[in-house]
Amino acid sequence: MKVILIAFLITLFSTTGALSQKPTAWRGGTNGNYPDKGLLKTWPQNGPDILWVAEGIGEGFSSPVFANGKIFVSTMIDTTGFIVILDLKGKELKRYSYGTEFFESYPGARSTPVIVGDWLYIYSGRGTIYAFDAEKGTLRWKRDLIKETDGENIKWGVTETLVVDGDKIYCSPGGKKFNIVALNRLDGTFVWNSPGVGDLSAYCTPLLIDLGNKKILVTMMASHILGVDASTGKTLWSYEQPNQWSVHANTPIYANGMIFCTSGYGQGTVALNLSSDGNSVSKAWFNPKFDSRMGGAVYIDGYLYSSGDKNREWQCLDAKTGTEKWASTEIGKGDIISADGLLFLYSEKGELALAEANPNSFKLLSQAKVEKGTAQHWAHPVINDGTLYVRHGNALIAYKIK
């Protein structure tokens, strides 16, 4: 009896410990707003000092994540997906494969891995979720989610990063029945499945909103923005948001009771007022010009900053009204993150720029050129412990910004 009790307690405590760990998250879990302080307000003439470059890691558009004192990044070599582990000085420690990646159009790993304690989760461009021992690379479980459900892969492959919260993983296979799903992250079994409104998925990493008494999963599918009860999978509301190619790659932003959803390809940004109970939304404003395709946006002190798609300008909006405060074409369109009152811009032309988070005017402080790496400049940069990390295809570059 004592042996059984001890075994039960060991299982209980180890499971409780695993579920209480804080997961890594896409764009820092704060939609691109990083907590670092004391950063350089200007860079040297040729750009911030390069601390190191890890080349030959393989192709991909995903961002690095940081856990257990190491760097993890997903990548593709030939047609196989790999997880590459680096130390904080850029030395490769290990790599292990996770199956076939998306190699057709714009080949390379797409989704950023998520790490919780000693667990690593990756959603391949072909629609399979893998759970590994993060450092050993031992496979714990996998689910070919699209094949096992009524889901359907999309033109440029799955790009959404998994959202992990407690014992659940959330993602969007895009079927008529299994439209959005929650899985038990320890064994991969389904917790719930939601039919949503039957749209295909749309490259979007969901946002989890905690209202205190309720958590809501908000995502953009092919033609609609959806709000789903994170506990039950019940669809609470939907709002129509179509565009030319059904691509909505930017994670929604939530601030001060408002949800901001930005799409490119001829759409724009809609702001929705979320009811206090989370059960409904109403339109606050719409701005067709604020139309980032996949570079994200940041919300800072009541203002939104991003670059356009068809409107190839960096812009600032008053988040309450949607009114444009300024627009600039000094830097090409691309990705945006922020920290310490600064905007870090990474353009599709390979420009790396530093600007003030200033709603009164665009103030470019410094800029440089990303010379290392391959293919498109699409991966979202990351700031970790005073270092800016830029992934460009087969290279990961660490810049000193503090």
Task: Kindly state the average pLDDT of the residues 153-169.
Answer: 97
pTM equals: 0.94
Residue 376 and residue 372: Cα distance in Å, rounded?
12
Question: In the chain, pLDDT over 70 holds for what percent of residues?
Answer: 95
User: Got the DSSP string for 325-338?
Assistant: EEEE-SS-SEEEEE
**Residue 35 · residue 29 · CB < 8 Å:** no
When pLDDT is cut at 50, 70 and 90, the band that residue 390 belongs to is: very high
Look at 19-23, 89-93, 239-243, 307-311 and tell me which has the smallest mean pLDDT.
19-23
Is 70 exceeded by the pLDDT of residue 5?
no
Percent helix, percent strand, percent coil in the chain, to nearest 5: 5, 45, 50
pLDDT, tens only, 195-228: 999 999 999 999 999 999 999 999 999 999 999 9
Whether residue 10 has pLDDT greater than 80: no
Q: Which helix (H) or strand (E) holds 297?
A: strand 297-300
Task: Tell me the pLDDT band of 277, cut-offs 50, 70 and 90.
Answer: very high
User: Maximum CA pair distance of the chain?
Assistant: 72
Which pLDDT band, with edges at 50, 70 and 90, does 252 fall under?
Answer: very high
- Per residue in 41-84, pLDDT tens? 999 999 999 999 999 999 999 999 999 999 999 999 999 999 99
Structure tokens that stand for 395 in this block: 């290279």
For residue 12, the model assigns a pLDDT of 45
- Section 350-377 average pLDDT: 98
> For residues 216 and 173, is the Cβ–Cβ distance under 8 A?
no
